[in-house]
A and B are shown apart, each in its own frame.
Chain A
Amino acid sequence: MDLQDQFTSVIKENKGLIFKVAAMYTNSPDDRNDLQQEIVYQLWKSFGSFKQDSKLSTWMYRVALNTAISYLRQTKRRVSTIPLELDADRLAEDYDKTEEEQIQQMYAQIQMLHLLDRGIILLFLEGKKYEEIASIIGITPSNVGTRISRIKEKLRTQLVKQP
């Protein structure tokens, strides 16, 4: 299997990661698609030099999140909730209004958090352990725990403020 085939297989296995990071840092479907493209490009650029010192997913999250931050320079810093439309045929098949509203509400709340907390909560929701979150973010595992508790509190406060 040549490098490009290996890369294609890695991206296919981790397509959810790329989509979810892109959706969290952009404010329009066009920007989201651009950011997804940019993340895949940045991953491809350094794929050959990835030395497996860290887990593949750790490296991918790191590249994806760093690319998202760098991409913010190109667009407005604030992001707002966007429709998460996926494949049109699939949508028609599976569309669930309540589910869609829940996802929108979740994104709206996450996007009210600042950049650091947003990265942490994304990784937490992805089911990453504190050690891996710490390694991607660049803080200690105990700090991850402290920050997640603070984020929970912030989310509760947001909940109270909502009408």
Chain B
Amino acid sequence: MELEEMQQAWEKLSQRVEKQDVLTAQLVEKSTRQSYHSTLNRIKSAELMGTLVCYAGAGYISVHLPKIEGLGMQVLAALTLGLLLVLPILSLASVRAIKGVNISVATYVETIQTFARQKIRFQRLQKINVFLALLLLFVSLPVVAAIQGKDLGQIPHLWTLIVPVVAVVFMGFAYWVLKAYNKTLAEMESLLSDIDK
């Protein structure tokens, strides 16, 4: 479709849109109500759930900390606790809304630049998150076993089957996630450099 044909299609679309009235009245009525809450800056429920799970885990380990014996195990417990506290902070920090953009004043280019920079920051933090989560997986295993009074050595096929399978699945997932992140990173960097041309 050439630009001229596009203009004709756009004209047809404009004519169709002009004919509808009901939706417009509803939009205004809802937006001007005091109770309306903006969807921008809202934290997604999945992110909130992840944070709650991490903090619940941190609470569980903190409560049972006195049960953990041996310096090595205590270091692992402290590391687990640290990871459980840091992961949600990193995650929430990375999904913060576009800050510092005044929607009614900023130009489109300024908003795109902020959006692209935020996206790049988000992708980088998410990469760190993926590796920290893998670390958490291995560090927390002996800690939870110690709290529950279980000997890891007695769990059948733990080191020969369960841990390697989980690690391979996680690494596969991480590879897939990072590939997607890298693609978005490249796109955002290219967008930023194109704006500067």
Contacts and interface: CB of A to CB of B under 8 A. Distances in A.
Interface of A: 4, 7-8, 11-12, 15-16, 18-20, 34, 36-38, 40-46, 49-50, 59, 62-63, 65-67, 69-74, 77, 84, 86-87, 90, 94, 99, 102-103, 105-106, 109-110, 114-116, 119, 121, 125-126, 136-139, 151-152, 155-156, 159
Contacts of A126: 10
Main secondary structure of the interface of A (DSSP, over half): helix
A73 B190 CA distance: 18
B121 to A, nearest CB: 12
30 contacts: A4-B32, A7-B28, A7-B32, A15-B17, A16-B14, A16-B18, A34-B39, A41-B31, A42-B104, A44-B28, A46-B103, A65-B108, A66-B104, A66-B108, A67-B103, A69-B98, A69-B115, A70-B101, A73-B40, A73-B97, A73-B115, A74-B44, A86-B17, A102-B9, A110-B6, A114-B187, A116-B194, A136-B108, A137-B109, A155-B3
Contacts of B115: 69-70, 72-73, 115
A94 B17 CA distance: 12
A136 B104 contact: no
A153 to B, nearest CB: 10
B64 interface: no
Contacts of B36: 41
Contacts of B25: 8, 12
Interface residues of B, number: 56
A69 B94 CA distance: 17
A77 B133 CA distance: 25
Contacts of A44: 28, 31-32
Given A63-B103, A74-B39, A116 B112 contact: yes
B189 to A, nearest CB: 12
Contacts of B3: 151-152, 155
Contacts, number: 176
Interface in B1-54: 1-3, 5-10, 12-14, 16-25, 27-28, 30-32, 36, 38-40, 42, 44
B67 to A, nearest CB: 42
Contact of B6 (A116, A136, A155): A155
Contacts of A72: 115
Nearest to B192: A116
B17 A62 contact: no
B107 A136 contact: yes
Nearest to B184: A77
